[in-house]
Structure 1
Amino acid sequence: METKVKAHVAPWKFEEVKTLKGLIKSKPVVALVDMMDVPAPQLQEIRDKIRDKVKLRMSRNTLIERALKEAAQELNNPKLAELANYIERGAAILVTDMNPFKLYKMLEENKSPAPVKAGQIAPCDIKVEKGSTGIPPGPFLSELKRVGIPAAIEKGKIAIKEDKVVVKKGEVVSQEVANVLNKLGIKPIKVGLDILAVYEDGIIYTPDTLKVDEEKLYNDIQLAYQQAMNLAFNIAYPAKEVLPLLLQKAFINAKAVAIEACYVSKDTAPDILAKAYAQALALASKLPDEALDEEIKEKLSSQPVVEEKKEETPKEEEKKEEEKKEEETAAAGLAFLF
């Protein structure tokens, strides 16, 4: 008769899963963060900065997965269990009341520059800029040349002759390149808590969704608002933001019609009188001097002289062209007589 051996599970693991489940249930936003590459001093500094806004707990990946699935089952929330699919590397549970976008921004702002290590994948192009290194001549000059960095001795120091990309984004950093970058004091990466995924209200957000270009977003919203205002104004949509402009336009149009129709009101009277005055002066300017009194003559003399260029109508142009042709024909006929 075969005897089944029951696997022994350490009691502390049950307690850890219980603690993690309590943490998961305590806040509406649950995140998985990767903290594998964060040095202990920087991790402690980050935790001190965010302590009042989030709760963070490191644990084994297997226990985090178990806690997520059990919490999801107890809450009857299958979507929460899917968060376990994003566990990788040195994962930790983070819970907060902050919305996922604010959480992502806060964690990004609390990252700090760090040297790159051999074997790491470059998160961006790593460039060495030209200029003096401040390092005296020695073996380091050869090290620079071995990794493809043009260098020479200038004023008793090693100088880099031109800007050089030593590692492209996505490439693996070699040991030689890592050594050179460290000696130059170049810290091309930022270390901190990297979000793997965030759960909130039935939705799982990944870093590519949470990374928002705020300036572009602001400009897009501003442009959309302006376009919406223009459309609403042109179709006379009576929104509260558009109504003042529509009323202003209606007033201007109504006043223009009233002035043209000589409808006298307190708003149009000054414009109608000004229009009548201008027309009267224009008419007076067509009359002979003896028909005008001194006051009118004085007013006419003070008016700017505008020379109006008389445009010839197409018929007048055609008539002149025909007259010109007739003159040319007559001239040619006279020439035959001699």
Structure 2
Amino acid sequence: MRHPASWKVELVDKVAKEIDNAGTVAIVDIHGLRNNQFQSIRRDVRGDLNIRVMRLTLLLKALEKSKKPGLADLSKEVRGQVALVTTNSEPVSVNNVLRKKRQMMSPRGGETASDDIVVPEGETSFPPGPMISEFQKAGLQTAIEKGKIVIKKESVVVKKGEVISKERASLLQKLDIKPIEVGLNLRAAYSSGTIFTSDVLSISPESLSLDIAMSFSRAKTLALEAGFLVPEIIPDMIVRARIIAESLSLKAGIVDESSIQLFILKAIQEASAVQEAIGSEKESSGKETKKGEKEAKSESTDEDVSAGLSSLFG
């Protein structure tokens, strides 16, 4: 029977101990991340996160050898290009740290555009020459101004969801356009016997607080409408009961110390309404009187004119 190399056994034992001593164990996706970018992120988080890249078979054995209960489910995420993260930070903190370390880079070709890739209008650093042809192939409108190639109109060179060709990637590199976001993508994290997936860990505290507040408000409304008595809605029920009682008191004409102000307000409103009605009636009556006087005056004038004409032609 062939025995595994001693260095493999030692590595598996070492990683298994790291896993057992860590509060949080995570699997992160490193696909598409260039080595210099990976090393940069690794240096930045050193001291907080321990990131280890190793053969998948050895990583699976280390997870299997760990004594943590329920860790086996994390093995499902060990596929493709991944790394192991061990830390004493909470899973949410791990995810937040990794998200902050994401970087933008120019494509190399073969990537899928997550959004439309746009080349803005403006002057480039290129003099007239072969680049004009390359710009034209990409569908860019160009002109020569002050010895430089100028892009006259903003244009989409790769649409969302399309695969970026090597030609487009080369053009974007030359223009120093970096539309590709790369970093360590957390697939899942283990902590205290529970596996947390990336979608759960991506929920921000702000959105969580907002969701809780909205749910609480809806629950209060439902409890109030159903008359389900719980401490949280007692103040609202008291206010609602008082409003209903005051309304019934007004309709029934029941006057007491608590409702007398309402009756006074009601009397004032009714008096104001009557006063407005009287004012409107007076105004209407005044207009009718003036109209009658005007018509009478007009008739008198007509009679005077007729009398004058009669005297002339007697």
Q: Structure 2-normalised TM-score?
A: 0.73
Match of 1:43 in 2: 38
Match of 1:293 in 2: none
Give the direction of change, closer, same or farther, for the CA distance of 1:229–1:154 in structure 2 (3 Å limit).
Answer: farther
Match of 1:66 in 2: 61
Q: Of 55, 58, 72, which residue of structure 1 is paired with 2:50?
A: 55
Residues 1:13 and 2:4 aligned together? no
Q: Of 77, 81, 92, which residue of structure 2 is paired with 1:86?
A: 77
Match of 2:285 in 1: none
Q: Structure 1-normalised TM-score?
A: 0.68
Give the direction of change, closer, same or farther, for the CA distance of 1:255–1:178 in structure 2 (3 Å limit).
Answer: same
Structure 1 residue 219: Cα displacement? 5.6
Q: Of 82, 105, 112, which residue of structure 2 is paired with 1:114?
A: 105
User: Equivalent residue of 2:231, what SS?
Assistant: coil
Match of 1:132 in 2: 123
Match of 1:194 in 2: 185
Cα offsets for 1:219-251 (capped at 9, x unmatched): 655544443332222223333332212111211
Match of 1:174 in 2: 165
Structure 1 residue 154: Cα displacement? 4.0
**Are 1:87 and 1:196, in contact at CA under 8 Å, matched by a contact in 2?**
no
The gaps in structure 1 that reach 5 residues or longer are: 1-5, 286-302, 310-338
Name the one with the larger helix percent.
Answer: 2
Residues 1:250 and 2:245 aligned together? no
Residues 1:269 and 2:269 aligned together? no
**How far apart in 2 are the matches of 1:190 and 1:200?**
28
Structure 1 residue 156: Cα displacement? 3.8
Give the direction of change, closer, same or farther, for the CA distance of 1:247–1:51 in structure 2 (3 Å limit).
Answer: farther
Match of 1:228 in 2: 219
Q: Of 5, 14, 20, which residue of structure 2 is paired with 1:25?
A: 20
CA RMSD of the aligned region, Å? 3.4
Give the direction of change, closer, same or farther, for the CA distance of 1:274–1:121 in structure 2 (3 Å limit).
Answer: closer
The gaps in structure 2 that reach 5 residues or longer are: 282-314
Structure 1 residue 29: Cα displacement? 2.8
Structure 1 residue 16: Cα displacement? 1.1
Give % identity.
Answer: 35
Give the direction of change, closer, same or farther, for the CA distance of 1:274–1:180 in structure 2 (3 Å limit).
Answer: closer
Number of aligned pairs? 280
**How far apart in 1 are the matches of 2:10 and 2:202?**
35
Give the direction of change, closer, same or farther, for the CA distance of 1:122–1:88 in structure 2 (3 Å limit).
Answer: farther
Name the amino acid aligned to 1:92: A
Cα offsets for 1:188-218 (capped at 9, x unmatched): 1122212233334555444455444877766
Give the direction of change, closer, same or farther, for the CA distance of 1:185–1:266 in structure 2 (3 Å limit).
Answer: same
Structure 1 residue 273: Cα displacement? 4.8
Match of 1:148 in 2: 139
Question: Where does 1:277-292 land on structure 2 (aligned, <5 Å)?
Answer: none
Give the direction of change, closer, same or farther, for the CA distance of 1:137–1:304 in structure 2 (3 Å limit).
Answer: same
Structure 1 residue 185: Cα displacement? 0.8
After superposing the two structures, state which structure 1 stretch, 135-144 or 117-126, moved more. 117-126
